[in-house]
Amino acid sequence: MLAATWRIERHGLDGHVERACGRSTRNYVVAFWHASLLPLTWRHRNEGANVLVSQHGDGELIVRVLLRLGYRVERGSTTRGGAKALRGLVQFARSRAGDFGITPDGPKGPPRIAQPGLAFLAGVSGFPILPLGLACSKAWRLRSWDRFIIPKPGARVVIVAGRTVEVPRDAIDQDLTPYLREFEDSIAAAERDAERRLETPP
């Protein structure tokens, strides 16, 4: 009911995650910060994406919600069950069944610091990383490690796609830090763009 009141805008996504309109056939590793999980999973529901969810206790509730929203779910994280979940995601990616999403600073942080699994998935699958930045006109922020965002009723929510990041297959056995920093720079730029768009009428 709350989400139905949000005014959501998407910018820079043509040819990326809007393949339902027949504009693109390429798949992506769609990546966004854990704090933005609620509005982004709501907006991209029923698009056939696969999502990595923690095996921690609160993950079970998230799984139930995601399944109801039309996502395929793999359980695991950088701390529990990660290897099995990564294999599941890679198999899904290679089947070309659609995008898959990941919050690279989850499940426990540190916030807004991308973990190596993001670059590994991109390199193994051959899919570019597509950063999604988000800004809200008004929102609650929980007192959690990630400062989880819940847009308030009637909030304007702006989603901006950042510059994609390519990770070569032969790079996965090397230091992935440069690709992670490139992602962080790209999503930061997308968030700044989203904030600027909030300053102008829709």
Whether 118 and 129 have beta carbons less than 8 Å apart is answered as yes
Whether 122 has a pLDDT exceeding 70, the answer reads yes
Question: Whose CA is closest to 97, among 15, 14, 19?
Answer: 19
Residue whose pair of structure tokens reads 């990041």 in the numeric block: 165
Residue 11: strand pairing partners: 160
Whether 159 and 9 have beta carbons less than 8 Å apart is answered as yes
| Tens digit of each residue's pLDDT (9 = 90 or more) over 16-37 | 554 433 345 578 899 999 999 9
pLDDT at 83: 59
Higher per-residue pLDDT: 98 or 41: 41
Whether 121 has a pLDDT exceeding 80, the answer reads yes
| Tens digit of each residue's pLDDT (9 = 90 or more) over 102-117 | 899 977 889 999 998 8
Residue whose pair of structure tokens reads 């998935």 in the numeric block: 121
Helix H or strand E encompassing 116: helix 116-125
| Tens digit of each residue's pLDDT (9 = 90 or more) over 144-201 | 999 999 999 999 999 999 999 999 999 988 999 999 999 999 999 999 999 999 998 8
Is 52 in a helix, a strand, or coil? strand
Helix H or strand E encompassing 102: strand 100-102
Can you read off the two tokens belonging to residue 102?
């990941």
pLDDT at 18: 47
d(CA 56, CA 32): 20
Mean residue pLDDT of the chain comes to 84
